[in-house]
């Protein structure tokens, strides 16, 4: 048993594909040599709620003065440990904007108890 490969999905145009790729990049993780915990990501649903000007105390500080796109994504992360695999299904809201390097980036918009509806399943690997 092992995790699926990361999959941002897509087909919604260049900007949506960039947002999806940024979300995957923000959650996937390669462990250091001889450590476990490789994380892959698969996006299951994606909604672009439109754009708005930067909002102080709501949007990420790095987005100041930029156009921000509100995005909601449902995705599953798979964490591959030596003895088990853990799947966690999440729904998060993101603020997506062009960073100082001109690349699209998406950051989770912090809200109280955003993880209370996460669904986690742990599966032991056969020995």
How much is the average pLDDT of 25-48?
Answer: 94
pTM of the predicted protein model:
0.88
| Domain limits for position 113 | 14-124
Residue 82 inside a domain? The answer is yes
Whole-angstrom CA distances from 13 to 17, 21, 56 are: 6, 12, 29
Residue 38 has pLDDT above 90, yes or no: yes
Count of domains observed in the chain: 1
Residue 115 inside a domain? The answer is yes
Tens digit of pLDDT for each residue in 68-106? 999 999 999 999 999 999 999 999 999 999 988 889 999
Residue 8 inside a domain? The answer is no
Residue 58 inside a domain? The answer is yes
What is the residue-averaged pLDDT of the chain?
Answer: 91
- Rounded to an integer, what distance in angstroms lies between the CA atom of residue 20 and that of residue 104? 10
Q: Report residue 113's pLDDT band, with 50, 70 and 90 as the boundaries.
A: low
Residue 20 inside a domain? The answer is yes
């Amino acid at each position: 048993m092992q995790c699926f490969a990361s999959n941002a999905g897509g087909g919604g145009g260049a900007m949506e594909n960039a947002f999806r790729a940024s979300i995957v990049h923000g959650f996937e993780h390669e462990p250091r040599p001889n450590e476990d915990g490789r994380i892959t990501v698969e996006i299951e649903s994606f909604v672009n709620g439109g754009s708005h000007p930067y909002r102080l105390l709501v949007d990420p500080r790095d987005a100041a003065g930029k156009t921000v796109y509100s995005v909601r994504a449902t995705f599953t992360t798979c964490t591959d440990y030596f003895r088990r695999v853990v799947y966690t299904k999440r729904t998060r809201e993101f603020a997506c904007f062009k960073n100082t390097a001109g690349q699209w980036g998406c950051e989770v918009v912090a809200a109280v108890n955003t993880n209370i509806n996460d669904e986690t399943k742990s599966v032991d690997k056969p020995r």
